[in-house]
């Protein structure tokens, strides 16, 4: 049914994500505390502290696993925002066409000209840190992608006979767009969303690294590894290494899943086309 390589990608991706979440759940169940300071400052990985301690004696393993929640949550918020706004405006813009379409396309093109990180930096500086705030800052930069994809799909099916006939029997615009047209876009959107979860996680970490992320003492991967920079020259490599590994793992999970889904949907649609 599914091509072999994409099947293994989907499976691999899902497994990795599950492992990451399980690690996070483990720390909550066992009751580890990512905020507890101690006099064991900057101690290397050991049995007591598997990933070592940071500059005020906090256990890095607890912080890294706890950080999963925040990173994934903010990435999720950013994806929801960009999908929500981008897709809906793309659908309406593509459907109605004309001047509205040209203006909206221009606006989103302008947005597209700015690298998403810069947009995120400006907005994060403007509205300050917080789960929703940071999610919004990141999400805005990705809206143009969904806009384009959905608009493209809407444009391509707009002229199809079944749309005209549905209009003819009196369906309203809302029903037409949401019930009949957007479903065609869903496969592409889902793959894109999953991939953007990965980008979202990296962006959250990037903002944290630059000091614009979730406020201290929140355990966040990017912030922690950014702070760890100061100690590299003193020989403490663990504060920066482990959060980074977690980032790579979780992004890898979502990317594998996303690319796998993308391949699956693409082969499914070619098969669909072949039927005609």
Interface positions with other proteins (CB under 8 A):
35-37, 39, 41, 55-57, 106-107, 109-110, 113-118, 121-123, 125-126, 128-129, 198, 202, 205-206, 209-212, 215-217, 222, 225, 227-235, 237, 240-241, 244, 247-248, 251-252, 255-256, 259
- Give which of 97, 95, 115, 117 is closest to 200, Cα–Cα: 117
Nearer to other proteins, 146 or 209 (CB): 209
Q: Alpha-carbon torsion 110, 112, 118, 123, what sign?
A: positive
Q: Minimum CB separation from other proteins for residue 10, in Å?
A: 14
Q: Minimum CB separation from other proteins for residue 24, in Å?
A: 19
d(CA 178, CA 200): 26
Q: Minimum CB separation from other proteins for residue 168, in Å?
A: 29
Nearer to other proteins, 109 or 164 (CB): 109
Let me know: does 243 contact 225? Beta carbons within 8 Å. yes
**Cβ-count burial 139-164 (b if 16+ within 10 Å, e if not):** bbbbbbbbbbbbbebbeeeeeeeebe
Secondary structure in 3-state letters for 10-55 = HHHHHHHHHHHHHHHHHHHHHCCCCCCCCCCCCCCCCCCCCCCECC
Nearer to other proteins, 34 or 135 (CB): 34
Q: Residue 7 — φ and ψ, nearest 5°? A: -65, -45
Q: Minimum CB separation from other proteins for residue 114, in Å?
A: 5
Q: Minimum CB separation from other proteins for residue 99, in Å?
A: 14
Nearer to other proteins, 48 or 179 (CB): 48
Nearer to other proteins, 41 or 178 (CB): 41
Q: Minimum CB separation from other proteins for residue 272, in Å?
A: 20
Nearer to other proteins, 183 or 235 (CB): 235
- The set of residues, in sequence order, having a beta carbon less than 8 Å from that of 274 and lying 6+ positions away, is none
Nearer to other proteins, 126 or 168 (CB): 126
Q: Minimum CB separation from other proteins for residue 124, in Å?
A: 9
Nearer to other proteins, 148 or 180 (CB): 148
Q: Minimum CB separation from other proteins for residue 263, in Å?
A: 11
């Amino acid at each position: 049914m599914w091509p072999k390589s994409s099947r293994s990608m989907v499976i691999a991706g899902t497994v990795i994500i599950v492992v990451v979440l399980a690690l996070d759940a483990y720390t909550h169940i066992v009751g580890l505390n990512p905020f507890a300071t101690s006099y064991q400052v900057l101690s290397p990985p050991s049995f007591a502290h598997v990933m070592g301690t940071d500059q005020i004696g906090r256990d890095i393993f607890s912080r890294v696993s706890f950080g999963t929640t925040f990173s994934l949550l903010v990435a999720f918020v950013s994806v929801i925002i960009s999908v929500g706004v981008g897709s809906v405006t793309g659908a309406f813009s593509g459907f109605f066409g004309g001047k509205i379409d040209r203006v909206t396309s221009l606006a989103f093109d302008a947005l597209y000209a700015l690298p998403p990180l810069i947009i995120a930096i400006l907005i994060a500086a403007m509205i300050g840190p917080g789960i929703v705030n940071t999610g919004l800052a990141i999400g805005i930069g990705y809206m143009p992608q969904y806009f384009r994809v959905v608009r493209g799909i809407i444009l391509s099916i707009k002229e199809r006979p079944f749309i005209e006939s549905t209009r003819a029997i009196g369906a309203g615009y809302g029903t037409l767009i949401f019930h009949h047209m957007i479903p065609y876009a869903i496969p592409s959107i889902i793959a894109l969303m999953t991939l953007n979860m990965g980008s979202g996680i990296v962006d959250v970490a990037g903002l944290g690294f630059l000091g614009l992320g979730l406020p201290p003492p929140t355990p966040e991967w990017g912030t922690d590894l950014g702070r760890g920079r100061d100690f590299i020259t003193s020989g403490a490599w663990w504060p920066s290494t482990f959060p980074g590994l977690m980032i790579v793992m979780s992004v890898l999970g979502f990317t594998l899943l996303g690319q796998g889904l993308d391949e699956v949907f693409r082969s499914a649609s070619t098969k669909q086309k072949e039927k005609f």
